[in-house]
C-alpha cells in the first residue's frame, strides 16, 4: 500500500524538479476521483463558501464548515495529502489558531493547514510548527482580505510590493512554514520567490515556474460562469470528470499549464 504524501515528500519533489499537483475538493466523491487520478495535495479550501454555499466571498465560512468538509475528504483518501484552509478570523492569535488547527486535524483528518498572511502571522506559524502541525502560508492575493485590498486584484506589481512579498516568503519559511501558496502575482516574481525559498511553492495565477499548481475544482470543470483569467477549462476536451482531472495533472506535470494566457506580467 502506498504511503500518504507528506511535506518531506513534497520537498523532495521540489528538489528533484517534479511538479506538484494540488486541487480543491469538498466531498468524498470528488476526493476519490482526484486521488485515483494522482492528485498529490487535496485542498479543502474555504472557497467552498462560494462554490458550495453560494456566498459572494470566503468570509462567511466557519471552522465548523471546514471541519465537516475536511472530514468528508479525509475519510476516503489514503495517499493524497489533505490540506485544510483555516477560515477568516479563526487564527486571530496563536492560541486560537492552535485550537482550531487541532480541530481540523483531530476532527477533520487534515494533514496540514493553510493560513493567509505574511509577517503578521509568523508568530502563529511558529507556534503551530512547534506543536507539530504542518503549515502552508498564502501570499499575494488573499481572498480573506478582499475587502481590505479593494477586490480581487493582482498583487506584487510595484517594486515595493514585490520586495515585501519576497521578504514575507522568507519570514514564513524561517517561522516554520512547510509550504507556500502564491496567488495572482507576476510570473517573474513567483519564479524568484520559488527559487529563493527551500519549501515547496504552489501557484495559482502565478506562472508556470512555481513548484506546483492549484485550481478550484469547479473552475477546472467549467462550472464557473465568470472564471478568473488564470483558469483553464479542462472539461472542454474531456469525456468525463476523471479525464478532465487527468488532463490537468498531465498539463501541470508537463508544464503546459499554466500557459502565457493564464499568467500575469
Give the burial class of 254: count Cβ atoms within 10 A of its Cβ; 0-12 exposed, 13-18 middle, 19 or more buried.
exposed
The per-residue DSSP string of 199-239 comes to S-EEEESS-TTSSEEEE-HHHHTT--SS--TT---TTTT-S
Catalytic one of 37, 40, 116, 183: 183
State the Cα–Cα distance between residues 64 and 74, nearest whole angstrom.
15
Beta strand pairing call for 41-44 and 201-204: unpaired
Q: Identify the residue whose cell numbers are 492552535.
A: 98
Decide the pairing of beta strands 135-140 and 179-183: parallel
Positions of E strands within the chain = 20-24, 41-44, 81-85, 112-114, 135-140, 179-183, 201-204, 212-215
What sign has the CA pseudo-torsion 96, 216, 201, 33?
A: positive
Q: Is 237 a catalytic residue?
A: no
Question: What is the set of active-site residues?
Answer: 183
Amino acid at each position: 500500500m502506498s504511503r500518504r504524501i507528506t511535506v518531506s515528500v513534497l520537498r523532495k519533489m521540489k528538489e528533484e524538479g517534479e511538479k506538484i499537483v494540488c486541487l480543491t475538493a469538498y466531498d468524498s466523491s470528488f476526493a476519490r476521483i482526484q486521488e485515483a487520478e494522482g492528485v498529490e495535495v487535496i485542498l479543502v479550501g474555504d472557497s467552498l463558501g462560494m462554490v458550495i454555499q453560494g456566498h459572494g466571498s470566503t468570509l462567511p465560512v466557519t471552522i465548523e464548515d471546514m471541519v465537516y468538509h475536511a472530514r468528508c475528504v479525509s475519510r476516503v483518501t489514503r495517499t493524497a495529502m489533505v490540506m485544510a484552509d483555516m477560515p477568516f478570523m479563526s487564527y486571530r492569535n496563536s492560541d486560537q489558531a492552535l485550537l482550531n488547527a487541532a480541530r481540523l486535524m483531530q476532527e477533520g483528518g487534515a494533514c496540514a493547514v493553510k493560513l493567509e498572511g505574511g509577517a503578521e502571522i509568523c508568530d502563529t506559524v511558529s507556534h503551530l510548527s512547534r506543536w507539530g502541525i504542518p503549515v502552508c502560508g498564502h501570499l499575494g492575493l488573499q481572498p480573506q482580505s478582499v475587502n481590505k485590498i479593494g477586490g480581487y486584484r493582482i498583487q506584487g506589481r510595484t517594486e515595493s510590493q514585490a520586495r515585501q512579498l519576497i521578504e514575507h516568503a522568507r519570514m514564513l519559511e524561517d517561522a516554520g512554514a512547510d509550504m507556500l501558496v502564491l496567488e495572482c502575482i507576476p510570473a517573474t516574481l513567483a519564479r524568484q520567490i520559488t527559487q529563493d525559498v527551500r519549501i515547496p511553492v504552489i501557484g495559482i495565477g502565478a506562472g508556470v515556474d512555481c513548484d506546483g499548481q492549484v485550481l478550484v475544482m469547479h473552475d477546472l470543470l467549467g462550472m464557473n460562469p465568470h472564471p478568473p483569467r488564470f483558469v483553464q477549462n479542462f472539461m472542454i476536451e474531456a469525456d468525463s470528470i476523471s479525464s478532465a482531472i487527468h488532463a490537468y495533472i498531465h498539463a501541470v506535470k508537463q508544464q503546459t499549464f499554466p500557459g502565457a494566457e493564464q499568467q500575469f506580467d
